[in-house]
Amino acid sequence: MILELRQVTKAYPVRKRRKGWFNQQAGEQAAVKQVSLELQRGECLGLVGESGSGKSTLARCILGLETLTSGEIWLDHRPIHTGRMKDIHLYKRIQLVAQDSSSSLHPRMTIRDILLEPIRNYFPERKAQALDICLSLLESVGLEADSLEKYPTQLSGGQKQRVCIARALAVEPEIILFDESVANLDTATQSSVLDVLKKVQIERQLSYLFITHDLQSTRPFCDRIAVMYQGEIVEIFKDGDQSLLEHEYTRALFQTLAVEN
């Protein structure tokens, strides 16, 4: 196992507005409740759940962007929830590809510079080969070599998302967290990006946590699917096991799919 979450809870303060007073804390609301999960090496684990169920909060907890209220997160048998691992070391091992790719690509940087940045930061000794690495990254996400000299604004949404994936791959992480990464893409682009992701996952033995509210697109792509509901993981299953589903929310999700198809 590469990543283990043990009873992870993240609660946010709830503040009440009072006229003429400072906002007062009126308790806490747990966005993530007692979540235990294991991600195996080379596995793609889907994380589905409705909006507000806590999926992104969980991803932020894994990346150390949130302090846990309680619980533990272990990366390859080392605790990472303590905040002792430096960000650069954590991000070397875990990368995030978020939903809105355009906002995370600097508009004044060419794709070449965007890809060179992580190579320079993480592998300064590869300076001489850096351009070749950029080209092979572009190839692995199905982009033409001439994209190198382009700016993000000259690319389509699907192409920008591929650049974000290439940038994450440049770091050579062991785990990639995808947070609704294909949600903004049309169906054809979505399926070609998923094909690319599957290919590089197999080639590089990567572990994926694939967050989505779209169970339909996730099913064939994931080895297992965890279902999050109101901050809790209520079920983990393999596609094809639907007859064994126990939680009402998961069964309702599958019923919606049956009606749609």
Ligand X SMILES: Nc1ncnc2c1ncn2[C@@H]1O[C@H](COP(=O)(O)OP(=O)(O)OP(=O)(O)O)[C@@H](O)[C@H]1O
Chain residues binding ligand X by CB under 6 A are 12, 31, 49, 51-57, 213
Shortest Cβ distance from residue 100 to ligand X (Å)? Answer: 11
Phi, psi of 175 (to 5 degrees): -130, 140
Nearer to ligand X (CB atom), residue 171 or residue 227: 227
Shortest Cβ distance from residue 45 to ligand X (Å)? Answer: 15
Shortest Cβ distance from residue 97 to ligand X (Å)? Answer: 14
**Beta strands 94-97; 232-237: pairing state:** unpaired
Of 198, 128, 213, the closest CA to residue 165 belongs to: 198
Nearer to ligand X (CB atom), residue 48 or residue 200: 48
Nearer to ligand X (CB atom), residue 57 or residue 181: 57
Nearer to ligand X (CB atom), residue 43 or residue 179: 179
Shortest Cβ distance from residue 160 to ligand X (Å)? Answer: 19
Shortest Cβ distance from residue 82 to ligand X (Å)? Answer: 21
Nearer to ligand X (CB atom), residue 52 or residue 83: 52
| Distance (Å, whole) CA 145 – CA 176 | 24
Shortest Cβ distance from residue 51 to ligand X (Å)? Answer: 3
| Distance (Å, whole) CA 225 – CA 249 | 14
Instruction: Find all residues with CB under 8 Å of 69, minimum gap 6, and list them.
Output: 9, 10, 11, 28, 30
Nearer to ligand X (CB atom), residue 76 or residue 214: 214
Nearer to ligand X (CB atom), residue 155 or residue 222: 222
Tokens, residue 42: 């080379």
Shortest Cβ distance from residue 189 to ligand X (Å)? Answer: 20
| Distance (Å, whole) CA 147 – CA 145 | 5
Degrees (nearest 5) of the Cα angle 39, 41, 54? 25
Tell me if 210 sits within 8 A of 45, measured CB to CB: yes
| Distance (Å, whole) CA 210 – CA 59 | 10
Radius of gyration of the chain (CA): 20
